[in-house]
Amino acid sequence: MALKATVYRAELDISDLDRGYYANHQLTLARHPSETDERLMVRLLAFALFADPALAFGRGISSDEEPDLWLKDDTGRICHWIEVGIPDERRLRRACGKADQVTLIAYAERAFVLWREKHAGELARLERLRIVLLTDASAAALEGLVDRNMKLTCTIQDGQVWLSDATRTVTIEPQVVQLPATRGKR
């Protein structure tokens, strides 16, 4: 008998001063049996970083065809594909072919450095790809906020993120390690 996903609920109040985005989101996250609390919270952070009323969680870890999060327009076009962790480079290549922009939120610094060195050439050719790295300390601190019913406040300013529950605040400084290529006008 297959294990079922565990459901987590989060009320996430976002004040993103960098983007001028202020909203409260009622979120339901399904945690796959093989997913860690750390990865679950990195997915929640990814939502906060790119929050939009149309941003939705995909089936992620349990699906090869869907990302962890995605933003689609009214026609179904994928505007933003967001992956969490260290996926196969081919998955990112396919995502870049399907979406207007692709973001990877990576964590596990040592494994990421080795993965990036191995795939540096392929990653550099992915013009739509942005890569953001979380330090091991940041990812571990996020894990400390996990609860089946979370009420969190997120403030984003000058590239820093403060994520708080009723008793703790975690400060995160995501490191942008690759930006999408900008195309010059001809």
Q: What is the pLDDT of residues 143-170, one digit of tens each?
A: 999 999 999 999 999 999 999 999 999 9
The model carries a pTM of 0.93
pLDDT digits (tens, 9 = 90+) for 79-92: 999 999 999 999 99
Identity of the residue numbered 121? G
Q: CA–CA distance from 38 to each of 35, 80, 99, 120, 183 (Å)?
A: 8, 23, 26, 26, 36
Going along the chain from its start, the domains and CATH numbers come out as: 6-178 (3.10.640.10)
Q: Are 13 and 24 in contact (CB under 8 A)?
A: yes
